[in-house]
A and B are shown apart, each in its own frame.
Chain A
């Protein structure tokens, strides 16, 4: 079993749709959680950190459920420009330790 698991998709949705991705992690000691976005053949870029209380950034909402060890990302009012791969990222350690574990990514394709 992978340490961080995501449904690879692809998710094909029309513009304006609401889409949600889930991600599960196996290490209960994980302390930090992120969603990164990666466009084809480009570098990953931070989309948002995920906080215990949940957080929102415009059309994007991230949730963390520590008891069930999953993280979610909700995208409202999808735009064509949201088409990308979304990477769930978990920091395996705490303090300054550096091991980020990446999920394989979920591919989103927003159609006109």
Chain B
């Protein structure tokens, strides 16, 4: 089954404790992206990757890191999480081409205390 898989689905943690949210897709998509969704603000792009070893900042990259060492994986790293990073996070992937639809993972709900 074609899918984008994120882990964990839910996480409650404390300020400053490094965490990684994994994202994996099995569709051989070149493009992958991370979003956060907050009430009243909608979905905002954090980082995206056009292909292996090619990453770029989205609209809200501060406090996050990503890597793209393999085509299928695109982890999101919070080196020193803070409460303002409490949010619902989605990973997405698609084929190359701006007109291609994105496939989203199920989401990760992060709470930083």
Contact = CB atoms under 8 A, between A and B. Distances in A.
Most chain A beta carbons < 10 A, residue from B43, B45, B90: B43
Interface string A78-100: 00000000010001011111111
A42 B43 CA distance: 13
Contacts of A95: 98
A1 to B, nearest CB: 14
Interface in B18-53: 31, 33, 35, 40-45, 48, 50
Interface SS of A by simple majority: loop
A104 B98 contact: no
B45 A100 contact: yes
A32 B42 CA distance: 19
A47 to B, nearest CB: 10
A105 B42 contact: yes
Q: Could you say which of B59, B97, B98, B102 has the most chain A C-beta atoms within 10 Å of its C-beta? A: B98
Nearest to A43: B104
B98 A32 contact: yes
B58 interface: yes
Given A99-B45, A100-B45, A42 B106 contact: yes
A61 interface: no
Contacts of A103: 42
B107 A43 contact: yes
B101 A34 contact: yes
A67 B50 CA distance: 30
B42 A87 contact: yes
A56 B22 CA distance: 37
Interface string A40-57: 011111100100000000
Contact of A49 (B31, B42, B99): B99
Nearest to B39: A104
Interface string B71-97: 000000000000000001010000011
